[in-house]
Chain A
């Protein structure tokens, strides 16, 4: 019984002999990323993705999948293929310009204790 594990939420399933390499990408509805505004006053936040045939269906599916319990007042969907992201490979140089600019933070400046409201 050495080929079993309890990993994965609903419990025990075999690990050995189960293929996990990504297989060929099949013909499927395109992938959309979903962003939800939880309530007025908050930003839209990424909550996950889903497949849909077109934009309108993506919105309906997003409502059914990600807001079953009043989790949102507004939804954005965008095709995953339309998103441009920074590359993790170059993250250090990419974000380096802000790394050495401590003077952009308020704590950089020494102000005497007796000066109020600053």
Chain B
């Protein structure tokens, strides 16, 4: 047996036994690339994901809401950094990943290319967008790549706060004026379909799923997770007193799931191509923050070098 065949066999056997792959283990090149791409894109999503809600920090309606929102946005930054840290264990360099994000070479989730028009959007993002993220992320806590799985465990614990603060915010608004209730419903109408798109294209159009399932970097198909999210969300919407903008949404007793209407995949593709409402501004904002922070990074290095000399 050749050396590589033996290494590959060891890798496959580790996955087969449901054990984790750890940093510095030999992995096939395809696995390394898949994991770097997945973790980097996830990290970028968390970092860009600070912007839609960060937009409302200075205009939060109370000190309580402002403190909560600050903590949540800080968490998103933290999630991004846990994930860059996980990517680093595969040999990816963080500065290089940042460069790939701000030059548009690597992508982030298309959900963050939608604007937050009212404060109700902050609540709906917590409830639906973070809710959908939790559906995606809980199975990733068992990803075959150890550092990613461990980052996901931390992230999932914190996402639970994100979802609950959003739902509580919406409950508060629903107890308010008629205008506030309309604001919530209007935000739900805008975010529902993009939330369903977060699970990706239908299984029939997801050719990478089979390999990802075999490597145990993905545990459920896109459609399974989307269905799970719809089933969870419908009773939550009822308790809140809002409806989803889908005339085909109804309980199917024979399937024991909710049926729902077709997702507009043309819109999804269009946003991914860069034509969403906020694609350009999100990247421009990230690039500006990076460029304007350059002097701080350089000054800190100079300061550290000077202190080192003094020793």
Q: Which residues of A contact B (CB under 8 A)?
A: 1-2, 4-15, 18-29, 31, 48-51, 53-54, 57, 64-65, 68-69, 85, 87-89
- Given A19-B100, A20-B40, A22-B36, decide whether A9 and B136 contact each other with a Cβ distance below 8 A: yes
Q: In whole Å, how far is B53's beta carbon from the nearest beta carbon of chain A?
A: 13
9 closest A-B pairs by CB: A6-B200, A11-B198, A53-B300, A26-B95, A23-B96, A12-B200, A10-B45, A10-B109, A54-B304
B303 touches A10 (CB 8 A): no
B100 touches A12 (CB 8 A): no
Chain B residue nearest to A34 in the complex (CB)? B85
Chain A residue nearest to B79 in the complex (CB)? A9
Q: In whole Å, how far is B163's beta carbon from the nearest beta carbon of chain A?
A: 13
5 A–B contacts from the bound complex (CB under 8 Å): A1-B265, A7-B38, A18-B107, A22-B96, A54-B304
How far is A3 from B174 in the complex, measured between Cα atoms in Å?
A: 40
How far is A37 from B201 in the complex, measured between Cα atoms in Å?
A: 43
SS of A interface (majority): loop
Check B227 for interface membership: any CB of A closer than 8 A: no
How far is A54 from B26 in the complex, measured between Cα atoms in Å?
A: 32
Which among A10, A14, A19, A21 has the greatest number of chain B C-beta atoms within 10 A?
A10
- Given A1-B269, A20-B33, decide whether A13 and B75 contact each other with a Cβ distance below 8 A: no
How far is A1 from B264 in the complex, measured between Cα atoms in Å?
A: 13
